[in-house]
Amino acid sequence: MAAAATQLDHLARGDARADRLFRWSVAAAGFFVLISLVGAALTMAWGGREAFATFGWAFVASDNWDPGNLIFGGLAPIVGTLITAGIALLLAVPISFGIALFLTEVAPGWLRGPVGTAIELLAGIPSIIYGMWGLFVLVPFLGEYIYPFLSETASQLPIIGSWFNGPPIGIGMLTAGMVLSIMVIPFIASVMREVFLTVPSRLKESAYALGSTTFEVVWDIVLPYTRSAVIGGIFLGLGRALGETMAVTFVLGNANRLANLLEPSSSIAATIANEFGEAFADLHRSSLLALGFVLFAVTFVVLSIAKLMLMGLQRREGT
Amino acid sequence: MTISLLRTTLMLGTVGLLAACSGSGSEAPKATEAATAAAPATIDITGAGASFVFPIMSKWSGEYATATGNRINYQSIGSGGGIAQAKAGTVDFGSTDAPLNSEDLKASNLGQFPSVVGGVVPVVNIEGVASNQLRLTGALLADIYLGKITTWNDPAIVAVNPGVVLPELGIKAVYRSDGSGTTFNFVNYLSQVSPAWVEGVGRAATAVKWPLGVGGKGNEGVAAYTKQLKGSIGYVELSYALQNNLTTVSLQNAAGNWIEPSIASFQAAAASADWANAQDFYLVITNAPGADAWPIAATNFILVSKNPNDPAKAKAALAFFKWAYANGGSRAQELGYVPLPEPLVQQVEAYWAQNFAY
């Protein structure tokens, strides 16, 4: 009896040790994420302190990026990043909704597998291939057929007309936004599809039984149920769009100027990729790191807004 | 029955693979043994910098590897990158089209010498216009890149191009988005021939604030954009224009003659350069005075540290260039570059003896 008791004790102690080890390892992994995040932010902020000290607010407010004379105002890349990411989301979110809803509600069973796999494959294509495709296929097509038409007709519209005033080169923010949206669709669509599948069928069937159309079921049952996860998926896509480098460099034109939709512009990631290799002036390198910090800050702000919005919605609903 | 057949096939297949591998494996050690017995250890040298000379560098390194076994790995990252890496000591030699002045060289403990002469050539993409058919003056080129001239059938362009049908097509300027010696030489030329350029954009540097247009990465990027966009104009080294079948432009030089880009016109520009008086070979040969000189000729410079981390590799780099001066001339000419004339080569070798003590 006593021998059995000590043997059980042994096992229990061994288990407790193993359990503690497991907890520590998992906690370490979690802390690793926090440490890398803080470390990355601090490195960029520290590296960019010279630029912030020299230029102050003019660094984010002025669009005069002149490496020859060592004057760096980062407004053009910042605005370019925000606008291309905005266009990408504007195009990608409705399409991803459509894809996810098609795969969960509308598609026949034999079609769901292939289309789902096709979406996953799109996510696996390297971004530089998207850039090359954009430059060799999309740019000539848009420059010859779509943009001349746009710059003549859309530029006549009352408020947003001036956005379309540029010479129809084919390379520009709108093209970059389109390429980015294609890159971002797989991420958003997969998240949405996973989440739409978790909606309990009882809810949907009750709605159908009461006479709702498919659209009403989706709008009133599925979307509110999955709201926070959907927004999470959208911000996953936004994160990719904000940081995308190679695809954007090919089709955005690397022109460090504020521009409208049809004109070439620049983005933070593209500017850093283009200039970091030869930024041997300390102020130049510091400015590029400072741009990286600004991108980090922008992503953080956008995510916080999303979280606050979600919390507000949940409070209103009482969940 | 089926399972044992599968097992047998797998076993036979594995045995066969092993036999094949060991067969070829036993040959390879014998070959390397013979090689190591005969030849000394090969050295791998890294260089980085101007995309201007990337075509000829890769040609030369291929032939040098066949001749001596030493391999040169040249990365085309732009002159700005070449200067930065040479100063940081991460490469055995850097390459730049924008020469460093003597103070800069002394501060970074680098030596500088020319490798080859080439030319920056404006290229256009206009349907119906053949190579060298379009003529532009330096001032017109500057006005195009300043945005003062916006369509190809502008009266100023038509005036110097009688007989050429120019469409009403918008001009899209293409420039270098990375720090580039090609840009340096191009902008250096524009600032010499156009006061409006100096006012609008400023002094020559490897990266300037372009008023308008689209930026491509490397000579390769500019060539790609010019090929894709109708009505575009860009500037690239001649070999890129030739290899990508781009339409080149004739320019009016300082003597007032219309010159087509070619090795002969680059040679004429290089001939009028006064190398003997250039300290550390600091000499920019744009807007050369010769009657047949191409206005935007450019010299590519090599930067080697005077106090390198690995003297054997630096010495091997110098040996590579000695070989290139002696044997690489015909290859250079095939690709559209001008090899250095003999007196200049001797001046360079004397400079090596004086400055590189290894």
pLDDT digits (tens, 9 = 90+) for A277-287: 777 678 888 99
Task: Kindly state the DSSP code that residue B341 receives in the 8-state scheme.
Answer: P
B84 contacts on A by Cβ (under 8 Å): 277-280
Q: Specify the pLDDT at position A318.
A: 67
Cα separation, B200 vs B271, in Å, equals: 32
A151 vs A318, more confident: A151
Q: What mean pLDDT is predicted for residues B181-185?
A: 88
* Of A66, A136, A253, Cβ closest to residue B215: A253
Q: Which letter, b or e, does each residue of A84-102 get, where b requires 16 or more Cβ atoms within 10 Å of its Cβ?
A: bbbbbbebbbeebbebbbe
Q: What is the DSSP string of B135-179?
A: EE-HHHHHHHHHTS--BTT-HHHHHT-TT----S-B-EEEEESS-
Share of chain B above pLDDT 90, in %: 45
* Of B172, B213, B217, Cβ closest to residue A249: B217
Predicted confidence (pLDDT) at residue B35 exceeds the cutoff of 50: no
Of A186, A203, A204, A182, nearest in space to A194 by CA: A186
Instruction: Tell if the CB–CB gap between B207 and A254 is shorter than 8 Å.
Output: no
Cα separation, A300 vs A293, in Å, equals: 10
Cα angle B348-B356-B110, degrees, rounded to a multiple of 5:
85
* Of B80, B170, B217, Cβ closest to residue A167: B170
Binning pLDDT at 50, 70 and 90, where does residue B92 land? very high
In contact, B201 and B189? CB cutoff 8 Å: no
Predicted confidence (pLDDT) at residue A18 exceeds the cutoff of 70: yes
A57 vs B1, more confident: A57
pLDDT digits (tens, 9 = 90+) for B101-118: 899 999 999 999 999 999
Instruction: Tell if the CB–CB gap between B84 and A68 is shorter than 8 Å.
Output: no
B77 vs B325, more confident: B325
- Does this model's pTM top 0.95? My answer is no
**Nearest residue in A to B204, CA atom:** A68
Task: Provide the shortest C-alpha distance from residue A130 to chain B (in Å).
Answer: 16
Chain B residues with CB-CB distance to A under 8 A?
77-84, 87-88, 170, 172, 177-179, 202-203, 205-210, 212-217, 224-225, 228-230
Give which of B97, B229, B232 to mutate to test A binding, by max A Cβ within 10 Å: B229
Amino acid at B117: V
pLDDT digits (tens, 9 = 90+) for B230-285: 899 999 999 899 889 999 999 999 889 999 998 889 988 888 888 888 888 998 88
* Of B88, B205, B216, Cβ closest to residue A68: B205
B227: which 2 tokens?
A: 């090929």
Query: Phi first, then psi: what are they for B236, rounded to 5°?
Result: -140, 170
The pairing of beta strand B71-76 with beta strand B250-252: unpaired
pLDDT digits (tens, 9 = 90+) for B291-345: 889 999 999 999 999 988 888 999 999 999 999 999 999 999 888 899 998 888 9
Predicted confidence (pLDDT) at residue A166 exceeds the cutoff of 80: no
Cα separation, A242 vs A180, in Å, equals: 9
Binning pLDDT at 50, 70 and 90, where does residue B32 land? very low
* Of A64, A169, A257, Cβ closest to residue B229: A169
Instruction: Tell if the CB–CB gap between A274 and B217 is shorter than 8 Å.
Output: yes
Asked if ipTM goes beyond 0.85, one says no
Instruction: Tell if the CB–CB gap between B214 and A255 is shorter than 8 Å.
Output: yes
Number of C-beta neighbours around residue B267 at 10 A? 20
In contact, B164 and B171? CB cutoff 8 Å: no
In contact, A164 and A150? CB cutoff 8 Å: yes
Predicted confidence (pLDDT) at residue A53 exceeds the cutoff of 50: yes
In contact, A84 and A177? CB cutoff 8 Å: yes
Q: How far is CA A214 from CA A95, A220, A221, B247, in A?
A: 17, 10, 10, 58
B81 contacts on A by Cβ (under 8 Å): 277-278
Mean pLDDT of all residues belonging to chain B = 86
Number of C-beta neighbours around residue B211 at 10 A? 16
